[in-house]
């Protein structure tokens, strides 16, 4: 398992844009964490530090207490797998099966392990029937699922997903939630960037709200989506889920999900 620590992390792009400003964050092994905030708040920049795609201008990144400043990106990729927001920036192979097998192959797995990991990953995202297809014969939503499968097959202890529900219908969102639940059940750390507050509230135990390259809120859904936190959410152009707004209107307390709302109504009698 891998614990991630960011200590005073800042990052400035070559054009002078400061994307991260003194970020302190700890994500424990096995946690499920959603990172939310407006476009440009620093979310994608942040997660690209986890596996060395970006290196901090200030501060440091630690994996299980080890400063990874001098660790090669290839080695970090064996610990932290990232699914990009745009699947077309990640897909390169001419066959679905080959695309998914690439990750475990680069990690030096045996042929038997690669075959099993590829089969299991495709089954997890519902693409077993497309194993021999060209990825670009799949629709956008299925290409997105393909990139998730590619990272699942690597078996990294940390999985990062950038906007995993983009382009997904209700069935696709349910599939993504099922994959996330499976990762958590296996004890793997799951981190996701998302603009879908309903998905976030119902799928993650912890939510980190970003704005201006800083962390504005960090806590469980019931705390982050409670009415006192709404002004902070608004500062990052976020709205609480509908269930949270209904619960507040009815003076039921914090009800970040439909389940929590129903339970609060039942308790009121």
pLDDT at position 268: 87
Overall pTM > 0.85: yes
pLDDT at position 242: 96
Cβ-proximal residues to 206 (8 Å cutoff; 6+ apart), any chain? 31, 32, 33, 34, 218, 219, 220
pLDDT at position 1: 66
pLDDT digits (tens, 9 = 90+) for 210-266: 999 999 999 999 999 999 999 999 999 999 999 999 999 999 999 999 999 999 999
Q: Quickly count: other Cβ atoms within 10 Å of residue 147's Cβ.
A: 26
First vs last C-alpha separation in the chain: 44
pLDDT digits (tens, 9 = 90+) for 70-106: 999 989 989 999 999 999 988 998 999 999 999 999 9
Q: What is the mean pLDDT of the chain?
A: 94
Round to whole Å and give the CA distance between 210 and 71.
27
Q: How confident is the model at residue 269 (pLDDT cuts 50, 70, 90)?
A: confident
Chain centroid to Cα 6, Å, comes to 17
pLDDT at position 104: 92
CATH homologous superfamily of 4-79+156-268 = P-loop containing nucleotide triphosphate hydrolases (3.40.50.300)
């Amino acid at each position: 398992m891998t614990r991630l620590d960011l200590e005073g992390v800042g990052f400035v792009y070559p054009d002078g844009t400061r994307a991260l400003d003194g970020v302190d964050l700890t994500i424990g092994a096995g946690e499920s964490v959603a990172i939310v905030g407006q476009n440009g708040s620093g979310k994608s920049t942040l997660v690209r530090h986890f596996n060395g795609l970006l290196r901090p201008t200030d501060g440091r990144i630690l994996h299980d207490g080890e400063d990874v400043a001098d660790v090669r990106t290839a080695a970090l990729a064996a610990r932290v797998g990232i699914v990009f927001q745009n699947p077309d920036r990640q897909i390169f192979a001419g066959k679905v099966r080959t695309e998914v097998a690439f990750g475990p192959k680069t990690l030096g797995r045996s042929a038997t392990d690669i075959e099993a990991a590829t089969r299991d990953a495709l089954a997890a995202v519902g693409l077993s029937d497309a194993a021999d297809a060209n990825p670009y014969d799949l629709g956008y939503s299925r290409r997105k699922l393909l990139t998730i499968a590619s990272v699942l097959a690597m078996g990294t202890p940390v999985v990062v997903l950038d906007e995993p529900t983009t382009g997904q219908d209700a069935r696709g969102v349910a599939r993504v939630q099922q994959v996330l639940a499976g990762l958590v059940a296996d004890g793997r750390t799951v981190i996701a960037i998302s603009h879908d507050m309903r998905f976030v509230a119902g799928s993650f135990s912890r939510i980190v709200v970003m704005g201006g390259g800083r962390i504005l809120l960090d806590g469980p859904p019931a705390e982050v989506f409670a009415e006192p936190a709404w002004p902070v959410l608004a500062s990052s152009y976020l709205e609480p889920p509908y269930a949270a707004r209904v619960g507040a209107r009815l003076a039921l307390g914090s009800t970040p999900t439909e389940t929590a709302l129903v339970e609060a109504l039942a308790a009121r009698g």
